[in-house]
Structure 1
Amino acid sequence: MKGIKLLALFLFSTAFFSFTPLKKKYIVIDAGHGGNDSGVVYGEFSEKDISLKIAKKIQKISENQSRYEIILTRNTDSPSSLSERTAQINRLSPEMVISLHVNGSPQEETPNQGTEIFVQNSEQSKKLAGKISGKLNARTIEGRNLHILRETQSPAVLIELGFINNTRDREYMTSEKGQQEIAQKFVEVFNEY
């Protein structure tokens, strides 16, 4: 009888501890702009819409392909201040923060094209930027004193995904195929990090 009780206790303990949740690991995706703040605009396309669509695709792909839980700073066309976003991020204490943006220049059509990555001044952020650059073939990685980078306590990068007023970049960033490919590349970075 004593042996059966010990066996039952052992099985219960094993089952209980095997289902005890581990500390979740988060990645925050900040879809730049939102609400009245459209960011850069070209015709019917706006930075706030492009960044949000790609952020949602990253979250969806990650559900099946990543060990991280993806948290979006916004998942609708809603405004939030930079200080609200960084406060939200710092409460979560994520593994990393990716702030998605779209570049623009004063010309109607610019020859400039490609991804640019901006980092805070930390080794972890620089390492993350290097991994992202390898996947997205970024044209530059630079240190910048930007609020989201400066005020976020986790490793953070701000990514300009391309130029809205460069035909090739715009067509890629606004197409379903292009957005899916960009999102997939981010998930691959997460899995290698």
Structure 2
Amino acid sequence: MGTLKKIYTTVFITLLFFTVFGSSTKVVGQSKKTYVVVIDPGHGGKDPGKPRGSSAYMHEKELNLRIAKKVGLLMRQYMPNIQVYYTRTSDKYISLEDRVDFAEVAQADYFLSIHSNSNPNKWIVGAKAHVDTDQDQVSVALAKVLLNSIEKKTLIQSRGLMNKQDRGYNLYVLKNTSMPSVLIECGFLSNPYERRYINSEKGQKEIANAIFQGFQSFHQQSDVPQGDNYSIQILATNKKVSNTNPHFQKLLNQGHLIKEHEIIRNNKKIYKYTVGNVPTTETAQSLKLRIRSLGFSDAFVVKMP
């Protein structure tokens, strides 16, 4: 495992060199924190995603990469406090595990996975956004902004947001990343009209610009303190849990105060347990990582009323 970690670290340092010195973006003298965005072009190499079906079109893996690169370029040009990394920059197969590990080594603040969709019914159209769970409120908020931007700025309508309950299964890159993570499906390649649009340079530019503008709007609002308070939810149960419970000892030993919140849902009492009270999403994400490192792998950020 130590060898594998060294490999990821070496790859990350190499990409850091080419990203910083191969880019015209100047960040010297910026007083703001630099935020890291990992953009993940879906599929690649031996995994084409949705096959092109005709020599007139591209495989999904090629379209994902083109759109992802355009999004990253816009971020580098217009958001000087954003550092962009890609899980792949060419037609290479990258495992789901390696994509997640790369984002973790990069200590990403955001993870955006770019895909296109397909369905046996060729008349289904629209963009979808996927998150792991609705309780990850930062990911949900970002996903909604991205979908709204795509619907307003492209020819593609929104088909809405889906979580793991809606899908009936987990998506590995969403379940296993520790930062806010959204998977965007830019439209249906099985639909003749959206396939033609997504395969066009115009369509790719408009989709990339919509994703960029949505992200930029969301990030600018999140980067400014809004007077909100955030905590980390560690547990929800229908039975009270005492602070003396051994499961909580690591948190207590680290000086974390555990708060209990009683709510009524479907005429039944639910007890939620949270840790911390911080003013920004940035500090909340850092706190979430510390809480997860103490054994609470499903901990997530919640906005306090």
Global fold match (TM > 0.5) = yes
Deviations, residues 64-121 of structure 1 (Å, cap 9, x unaligned): 21231221110000111100110000112222111111111225xx110110111122
Q: Are residue 76 (structure 1) and residue 90 (structure 2) matched?
A: yes
Aligned to 2:221: none
Q: Are residue 124 (structure 1) and residue 138 (structure 2) matched?
A: yes
Amino acid at match of 1:98: L
SS at match of 1:78: coil
Q: CA deviation at 1:29?
A: 0.9
SS at match of 2:40: strand
- Superposition pairs of residues 29-40 of structure 1, within 5 angstroms: 29-40=39-50
Q: 1:141 to 1:19 in 2, by over 3 A?
A: closer
SS at match of 1:112: coil
SS at match of 1:152: coil
- Superposition pairs of residues 14-29 of structure 1, within 5 angstroms: 19=29, 23-29=33-39
Unpaired runs of at least 5, structure 1: 1-17
Preserved CA contact (<8 Å) 1:31 1:52: yes
Partners of 1:34 and 1:20 in 2: how far apart?
A: 35
Aligned to 1:49: 62
SS at match of 2:174: helix
Partners of 2:147 and 2:72 in 1: how far apart?
A: 20
Partners of 1:160 and 1:120 in 2: how far apart?
A: 15
Q: 1:184 to 1:20 in 2, by over 3 A?
A: closer
Preserved CA contact (<8 Å) 2:145 2:215: no
- Superposition pairs of residues 27-176 of structure 1, within 5 angstroms: 27-41=37-51, 42-44=53-55, 45-66=58-79, 67-107=81-121, 110-121=122-133, 122-137=136-151, 138-144=158-164, 145-176=170-201
Identity %: 32
Partners of 1:20 and 1:134 in 2: how far apart?
A: 30
TM-score (norm 1): 0.84
Q: CA deviation at 1:34?
A: 0.4
Aligned to 1:12: none
Preserved CA contact (<8 Å) 2:146 2:215: no
Partners of 1:157 and 1:141 in 2: how far apart?
A: 10
Amino acid at match of 1:65: Y
Q: Between Structure 1 and Structure 2, how many residues are aligned?
A: 174
Partners of 2:82 and 2:177 in 1: how far apart?
A: 19
TM-score (norm 2): 0.54
Structure with the higher helix share, 1 or 2:
1
Unpaired runs of at least 5, structure 2: 1-27, 152-157, 165-169, 219-305
State the structure with bigger RCO (CA 8 A, min sep 6), 1 or 2. 1
Q: CA deviation at 1:123?
A: 0.7
Partners of 1:47 and 1:164 in 2: how far apart?
A: 8
Q: CA deviation at 1:23?
A: 4.3
Amino acid at match of 1:171: R
Aligned to 1:183: 208
Preserved CA contact (<8 Å) 1:65 1:187: no
Preserved CA contact (<8 Å) 1:119 1:143: yes
Amino acid at match of 1:158: L
Structure 1 outlier segments of 4+, above 6 Å: none
